[in-house]
């Protein structure tokens, strides 16, 4: 079984919010993902692209895909994933709805 990030699943729900396709599968990582987003999202502008980029970066960081430093290769991967989500209306809507629930 792989520890890689699966962007097409729904992670377990927690008490504070619905799940999102970006959330890690493992409960401990899912909880960490939620906690970090609750801390970081209030400081992100209302720009939809930045909100989605933040969710992608946090998911990849929690899963261990992103290390201490962002390499050009990693930055390109994050941008490709974020742009892909922005181009898919249903995924974009889901990610933004999730972020909004965490903020409220």
Distance CA 89, CA 11 (A): 20
Q: How far apart are the first and last CA of the chain?
A: 35
Helix 27-40 / helix 48-62 crossing angle, nearest 10 deg: 140
Give 7-50 pLDDT, tens digit per residue: 333 333 443 445 578 888 888 999 999 999 999 999 998 999 99
Q: Which residues of 15-36 are buried (b: 16+ CB within 10 A; e: fewer)?
A: eebebbbbbbbeeebbbbbbeb
Give 47-104 pLDDT, tens digit per residue: 999 999 999 999 999 999 998 899 999 999 999 999 999 999 999 999 999 999 999 8
């Amino acid at each position: 079984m792989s520890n890689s990030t699966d962007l097409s699943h729904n992670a377990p729900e927690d008490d504070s919010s619905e799940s999102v396709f970006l959330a890690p599968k493992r409960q401990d990582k899912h909880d960490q993902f939620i906690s970090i987003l609750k801390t970081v999202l209030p400081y992100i502008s209302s720009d939809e692209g930045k909100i989605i980029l933040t969710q992608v970066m946090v998911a990849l960081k929690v899963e261990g895909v992103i290390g201490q430093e962002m390499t050009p290769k990693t930055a390109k991967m994050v941008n490709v994933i974020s742009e892909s989500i922005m181009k898919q209306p249903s995924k974009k809507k889901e990610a933004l709805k999730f972020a909004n629930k965490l903020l409220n």
